[in-house]
A = this chain, B = another copy of it.
Amino acid sequence: MSDIETNLKQLFSKIDELKPAFIERLTKAVAIPSVSSDETLRPKVVEMANFLQNELKNLGADDISIKELGIQPPPVNDSNLKLPPIVLSKFGSDPNKKTILIYGHYDVQPALLEDGWNSDPFVLIEKDNKLIGRGSTDDKGPVMGWLNSLQAHKELNIPLPVNIVFCFEGMEESGSIGLDKLIQKEAKSYFNNVNSVCISDNYWLGTKKPVLTYGLRGCNYYQLIIKGPGADLHSGIFGGIIHEPMTDLIKVMSTLVDINGNILIPGVNEMVAPVTEKEDELYKDIEFDVNELNLASGSNTAIYQDKKNILMHRWRYPSLSLHGIEGAFSGAGAKTVIPSKVIGKFSIRTVPDMDSEKLTKLVTDFCNAKFKDLGSPNEFKAELIHDGAYWVSDPFNDEFTSAKLATKKVWGIEPDLTREGGSIPITLTFEQELGANVLLLPMGKGDDGAHSINEKLDVPNYIEGTKTLTAYLHYYGATK
């Protein structure tokens, strides 16, 4: 048996032994309601940063550095509201070892018992082999997983196979304000020598098979602003005699996408990279079917019924969603208003090789032309609100190869190679600023309910997940 396998055998046994302590660690973390979007709970977010700092200290960190980010920019109620700090930490600085940056976030989504939780969201309970509580899977479980792995190494006196740099933020659920700048600033200092980045902040595709994630869609969010009358008008008095902004907006919005999700803006689909044979192969073994989609959407409204089309249209083709209209009547009941200024919102999920600027030009040119065709005297403006780039990695690089070995070792099965339809914009920032490969190594399952009620992390995912992270460190540490 190789050194690695000997070490992993001892580590896995220690992880099993420490299970009660690990659950206790997660219980303490969940008990701190570190909701970043709730200004009144900001002290709790800071308390969670302190909790982490203390854990890192007890685990023997070589360095802990608390990076303050200053005052939170508007819109805020409290104009002196401080952003929660970024908690940085180092374990080891051996120039003969590789250095992995591990990112996680210690803030959570809001949660109230009244939302429909079956138990207090901030009291972790174990039930039916699940750990239920806010943050259990997003992202306190995975963050504790890394700490658990360090504890096992420490108790066994097994040296870490890599140098570790932790980067834990407290604003992920609120736009990761300040993180981009910090990464840029520390790229050549605190994050110097980082060879690779590992993020454990997404989920298995389904509930049965572990996955590694090598791609994310980007997101370009647009608004169409149409302004007519000086104020909202009464439809009895003005209906039929003025050009109504809503009529114009609905006409333009109706031209963007068909009901089967096909984007109707010329040139957009042409930017999409063609599917290669090698890529095509990747979809064959993935475990997924339309029933899982229907279960997740709570309906039978799938556009595609076959696995490959569903996954490709979720991961590697763009999509356009109409989100809503600002300024129009949006309440219950009946209001006879002619809204004077309406703002239609839609976004396009982007994929390789869509260029954000080119896309925005196509979108705004198309919308401007459609509005011009109407011949309306109202004012029109189409504009980008924000964009975040897509990300795709090589799923056959050292990171993914090591993670495949680790997964196989722990779960006895080859992981599926997946992409995600959503965005984790920080992924690309790490890749670009540090010049390092990024691996997304999820711990939780597709049904964990990350942003929903009764969020959970299965006990096996927490414990075997900690083993997987541990094995990954050793296999990646052994690569050239």
Interface status of A303 (Cβ within 8 A of chain B): yes
Number of interface residues of A (CB under 8 A): 100
CA distance A95 to B329 in the complex (A): 49
When distances are taken between beta carbons in the complex, the residues of chain B under 8 Å from A20 are none
Q: Using a CB-CB cutoff of 8 Å, which residues 220-252 of chain A contact chain B? A: 221, 223, 228-244, 246-248, 250-251
Name which of A43-51, A255-263, A429-437, A464-472 contacts chain B. Answer: A255-263
Name which of A5-13, A157-165, A178-186, A309-317 contacts chain B. Answer: A309-317
**Are B325 and A330 in contact, with the CB atoms below 8 A?**
yes
**Are B335 and A237 in contact, with the CB atoms below 8 A?**
no
**Known A234-B450, A239-B321, A240-B349; contact A331-B337, beta-carbon cutoff 8 A:** no
**Known A238-B297, A345-B334; contact A231-B450, beta-carbon cutoff 8 A:** no
Interface status of A375 (Cβ within 8 A of chain B): yes
Q: Using a CB-CB cutoff of 8 Å, which residues 193-226 of chain A contact chain B? A: 203, 217, 219, 221, 223
**Are A336 and B314 in contact, with the CB atoms below 8 A?**
no
Interface status of A175 (Cβ within 8 A of chain B): yes
When distances are taken between beta carbons in the complex, the residues of chain B under 8 Å from A339 are 323-324
CA distance A253 to B453 in the complex (A): 27
CA distance A300 to B228 in the complex (A): 8
When distances are taken between beta carbons in the complex, the residues of chain B under 8 Å from A37 are 331-335
Contact of A334 among B175, B304, B330 (CB under 8 A): B175
Q: Mark A285-321, 1 if CB is under 8 A from B, else 0.
A: 0000000010011111111100000100110011111
When distances are taken between beta carbons in the complex, the residues of chain B under 8 Å from A203 are 237
A354 to chain B, nearest CB (A): 14
Interface status of A322 (Cβ within 8 A of chain B): yes
**Are B321 and A336 in contact, with the CB atoms below 8 A?**
yes
When distances are taken between beta carbons in the complex, the residues of chain B under 8 Å from A374 are 259
**Are A242 and B293 in contact, with the CB atoms below 8 A?**
yes
**Known A261-B240, A321-B244, A349-B236; contact A334-B174, beta-carbon cutoff 8 A:** yes
Residues of A participating in the B interface, judged by any CB pair closer than 8 Å: 37, 75, 77, 109-110, 115-116, 174-175, 203, 217, 219, 221, 223, 228-244, 246-248, 250-251, 253-254, 257-261, 293, 296-304, 310, 313-314, 317-326, 328-340, 345, 347, 349, 374-378, 385-386, 420-423, 446, 449-454
Provide a sorted-by-A list of 23 A–B residue pairs whose CB atoms are within 8 angstroms. A37-B335, A75-B333, A110-B335, A116-B231, A219-B236, A231-B298, A231-B449, A232-B451, A233-B452, A237-B450, A239-B421, A246-B321, A246-B324, A247-B261, A247-B321, A248-B259, A300-B377, A323-B334, A324-B335, A326-B329, A335-B451, A336-B451, A337-B451
In the A-B complex, the 3 residue pairs with the closest CB atoms:
A230-B298, A236-B422, A240-B319
